[in-house]
Structure 1
Amino acid sequence: MNKLLIALGLAATVALVGCAKEKAPETGATTGEHLENAAAQAAHDAKDATHEAATATATAVDNAAQATENAAHNVATATENAADATVQAAKDATAATAGAVEQGAANVKEKAQQ
């Protein structure tokens, strides 16, 4: 039984070694050329990634600037509205005070005439 297992193991080994001896397709390039091509591709990929990051950063800065401008405009509008409301409240208070003074004077005059 051991001899059969050894024979099967040897047959499997020979089959695997035979399969492993298939030649890879020849590109005609040396190892150095492959390395140079890989380095050039890596440099190109890094350049693309840097450009994409710069574009994304510029877009984010533009969006932040626009949001800041919108917020400043909203604050200015709210401040203007608050100032208008304050002026109107002051006018209303002055009119109410003047009305009360006139009514008080009219009451005094009426009592004086009686």
Structure 2
Amino acid sequence: MNKSILLASLLAAAALTACSKKEEPKVEAPAAAPVEAASAAAAEASAAASVAVDAAASAVDAASAASK
């Protein structure tokens, strides 16, 4: 009788353990990294736009001088 109760309780414990839901840990990215990357990208884009404006102005000046 005692062995059957022990065996039944071991089987119940094993069944409950096997059916437990495994939770995946939540991964949170640091909030500062995307902000810094976006700021750096904006600075680079601004510098590139400035170079493009200067090149366009030079091209306009060259075309104006060539047409005279």
Provide the TM-score with structure 2 as the length reference: 0.57
Q: Kindly indicate whether residue 62 of structure 2 is the aligned counterpart of residue 74 of structure 1.
A: yes
Structure 1 or 2: more helix by fraction: 1
Matched pairs, number:
44
Where does structure 2 lack aligned partners over 5 or more consecutive residues?
Answer: 1-25
Rounded Cα–Cα distance in structure 2 between residues aligned with 1:51 and 1:69? 27
Task: Tell me the residue number matched to 2:47.
Answer: 59
Q: State the shift of 1:47 in Å.
A: 0.5
Rounded Cα–Cα distance in structure 2 between residues aligned with 1:78 and 1:46? 47
Q: State the shift of 1:69 in Å.
A: 0.2
Provide the TM-score with structure 1 as the length reference: 0.35
Letter in 2 for 1:59: A
Letter in 2 for 1:49: A
Q: State the shift of 1:43 in Å.
A: 1.2
Higher Rg of the two aligned structures: 1
Identity %: 23
Runs (4+) off by over 2 Å:
none
